[in-house]
Amino acid sequence: MVSLSSAALSARLGRRGGRVPAGRRVGRHPGAAFTLLSPWLIGIVGLTLGPMIASLVLSFTDYDLLSAPTFVGGANYARMLDDPRLAQSLGVTSTYVAIAVPLKTTCALLIAVVLARGVRLIGVYRAAFYLPSLLGASVAIAILWRLVFGSDGIFNAFLGMFGVEGQSWVSTPDTALFTLIALSVWQFGGPMVIFLAALLQVPAELQEAAAIDGAGPVRRFARITVPLITPVIFFNLVLEMINSFQTFTPSYIISGGTGGPADSTLLYSLYLYLEAFTKFRMGYASAMAWVLLLIIGLVTALLFWTSRRWVFYADSGER
């Protein structure tokens, strides 16, 4: 075994108090950083940037998977303006996002507030409420949801207990989309866990001082708790909005892969899939994918712009 004295070790590490200049530490092993970063670099280039560039190129072509792509310029994007089914899918998706995201976020916040009040067996409740978030996007749950809201489903059996005659909620155009929204809201466990972590960080002395001044629970929640957790509310809103725009599996399973009835559950991602893998219009589907990316980017930018008015960052003292 080789041992080094402190002087020898200092000499090896450098002449300035044993510290090695940053440039020398990096310069001795120039390939070490790239070796450690190589899995991420391979993934970002091979699995993200490469497919994105290929998709962008294909969006300017007519490509059916069986023949070579033919350059058509911006014809795929121009065609979207005259596609009534695309407009229908945009309307359905907008309604789905506008209703599901606020309901899911509100439900998650309210459940988190209850759990943050020191409920016994909080770990059990936290796991029970989080479980739907793990299973909700699966094919099995989507099939189960179709059975629950079918004409002979559990939901109609529940209504029958009160003398209310139900219907096939997934087969009626006016109600089919709301079964998808209900499934989305049911998966509130993910944002709930984030809200719960934020609520437990709210200083108790602020709540106690407000209570001494006569503020009730509702007023303390509105004036103290909510302002302190606005960054977390904003984070959950952005995350849920992006996920909702990309929802696919429930719409595909519950509608039988058609977006029916009468295109009432035709979410944008499902229509993109139908164009790509049933009609083999890969160029048009690629253009749709880039439009979806643009829509998500614009809505995200809008949320960031509005956050200046209602998101409060306590550390910086600025909105």
Query: What are residue 127's phi and psi, to 5 degrees?
Result: -70, -40
Predicted confidence (pLDDT) per residue in 138-159, tens digit: 777 778 888 888 888 888 888 8
Structure tokens at 270: 């499902």
* 116-121, long-range: CB < 8 A, 24+ apart: 116/196, 116/199, 116/200
Query: What are residue 16's phi and psi, to 5 degrees?
Result: -95, 85
70-137+174-308 is a CATH 1.10.3720.10 domain: yes
pLDDT-derived band of residue 21, with 50, 70 and 90 as boundaries? low
Identity at 305, one-letter amino acid code: W
Residue 243: C-alpha distances to residues 78, 178, 238, 246 (Å): 27, 17, 9, 5
C-alpha span between 225 and 257 (Å, rounded): 43
Contact status, residue 178 vs residue 216, Cβ threshold 8 Å: no
Sign (positive or negative) of CA dihedral 77, 65, 86, 238: negative
pLDDT score for 319: 55
Closest to 96 in 3D by CA, of 7, 173, 167, 185:
185
pLDDT-derived band of residue 274, with 50, 70 and 90 as boundaries? very high
Question: Which of 135-149, 175-189, 287-301 is predicted least confidently?
Answer: 135-149
Cβ count near 218 (within 10 Å): 8
Question: Which of 44-48, 56-60, 294-298 is predicted least confidently?
Answer: 44-48
Percent above pLDDT 90 for the chain:
48
Mean pLDDT confidence for 34-51? 89
Residue 71: C-alpha distances to residues 33, 68, 81, 277, 293 (Å): 41, 10, 19, 20, 22
Identity at 62, one-letter amino acid code: D
Q: Give the length of the chain.
A: 319
Residue 285 has pLDDT above 90, yes or no: yes
Run of H or E including 276: helix 268-277
pLDDT score for 146: 80
- Domains in the chain: boundaries: 70-137+174-308
Contact status, residue 157 vs residue 167, Cβ threshold 8 Å: no
Closest to 288 in 3D by CA, of 237, 240, 246:
246
C-alpha span between 170 and 157 (Å, rounded): 15
CA geometry: angle 16, 22, 24, nearest 5 deg:
85
Residue 41: C-alpha distances to residues 23, 49, 180, 234, 277 (Å): 23, 10, 37, 30, 30
Residue 178 has pLDDT above 90, yes or no: yes
Mean pLDDT confidence for 159-182? 88
Question: Bridge-partner residues for 70, per DSSP?
Answer: 62
C-alpha span between 232 and 59 (Å, rounded): 36
C-alpha span between 158 and 182 (Å, rounded): 16
Structure tokens at 79: 């065609």
First to last CA, the chain: 59
Cβ count near 97 (within 10 Å): 24
Identity at 192, one-letter amino acid code: M
pLDDT-derived band of residue 104, with 50, 70 and 90 as boundaries? very high
Q: How far is Cα of residue 90 from the mean position of the Cα atoms in its chain?
A: 18
pTM of the prediction? 0.84
